[in-house]
Homo-oligomer: A and B are copies of this chain.
């Protein structure tokens, strides 16, 4: 599309479509990061962001990609050589594993077939066997962005408690925070890892660690080499709303607006909206006669839907057709799923008609790319959306 008209449909599972209100908040002159106006901004966002994590604990905000927040969580909470248990639910969990190994941790993998979430029972069993508590942390990706599977974190915590194991629970909510239900304190999460460019509706560039008392206490004994990621420096400076080094001021302007938008809509309403869109999308996929990558109905992600391509058809070719013909970006299959699935993002600043346009683009793309399917996916989605619209509106 050399001269596309209208809006691009950015339907990858993040970065999500940044609302104008946030873009305009970012489009303000940068201010003195050591002055009183910044201090007030810092105090406000550091306080309010806790509501989105549903925590009363401090949230550390980094200028970095989400990847950085993975690293930060590990090097603060743990020491080199520490054993961690990591559920490899998909490509991003696998990448986290690599990162952990490069940083010198000993990673115990709980593999999956990349079509289901973390197995709480299995985690519990493994921890129960770990009599000497050699496992220092359990790492789970809440919403595995590469597969569209959401792990049940509360169950993982229950299993850990049942095993009476002291390991820390580290959860990656990079693609779930602000889109699907997450309750840091209630679920007993020790470190929550997040990023700006998904449910928070910001451009990429900020990453987060929310830190429980237990994790903070653990960090006091960490022997990991670190400087940029050090929680202590951050927390000390954050007390007055400042940062130990020049923060991404303009993204923080946007964050203030993002938090306000989420709280205005209400977190529960935000989650219900994502759930409704997830269900409508899955109905479309079913109507097309295609398979979901996620095979467990209790673990469907409401953030994105990963669709399995029929044998012999290439997902990337389909995505290219859709991009060039309909100016819509979809997510690629990643890692071992490359070419085998495509991913539809339905998160962030999104509504029924944007979803309808999105599914229309997929259905027309399947047709144009010659991918075997039944028409009627959009129709099925519309029926669900219409049937549930009034209740959604009242909510």
Contacts and interface: CB of A to CB of B under 8 A. Distances in A.
Instruction: Tell me which of A31, A204, A266, A350 has the highest count of chain B C-beta atoms within 10 A of its own C-beta.
Output: A204
A68 B356 contact: no
A30 interface: yes
B349 A360 contact: no
Contact of A264 (B3, B65, B354): B3
A103 B224 CA distance: 9
The oligomer's copy count stands at 4
Nearest to A12: B32
Interface stretch (A112-120, A125-133, A243-251, A289-297): A243-251
Interface stretch (A46-54, A146-154, A318-326): A318-326
A351 B204 contact: no
Interface in A234-249: 244-249
Contact of A18 (B29, B36, B228, B246): B29
Interface of A: 1, 3-10, 12, 14-15, 17-20, 23-24, 26-36, 62-68, 71, 80, 99, 102-104, 195, 197, 203-205, 225-228, 230, 244-251, 261, 264-266, 269-270, 273, 323-329, 332, 349-358, 360-361, 363-364, 367-368, 375-376, 378-379, 382-383, 385-386, 389-390, 393
Contacts of A10: 29-32
A324 B28 contact: no
A351 B4 contact: yes
A3 B263 CA distance: 10
A204 B390 contact: no
Given A3-B266, A6-B353, A65-B245, 16 more contacts: A1-B393, A3-B265, A5-B351, A10-B30, A15-B249, A18-B29, A18-B250, A26-B250, A65-B246, A102-B230, A203-B251, A327-B351, A352-B361, A360-B378, A360-B382, A360-B385
Contacts of A4: 351
A360 B356 contact: yes
B386 A382 contact: no
A5 B64 contact: no
Contacts of A203: 30, 248-251
8 contacts: A6-B349, A7-B354, A66-B245, A67-B228, A68-B228, A353-B361, A368-B386, A379-B379
A29 B17 contact: yes
B12 A6 contact: no
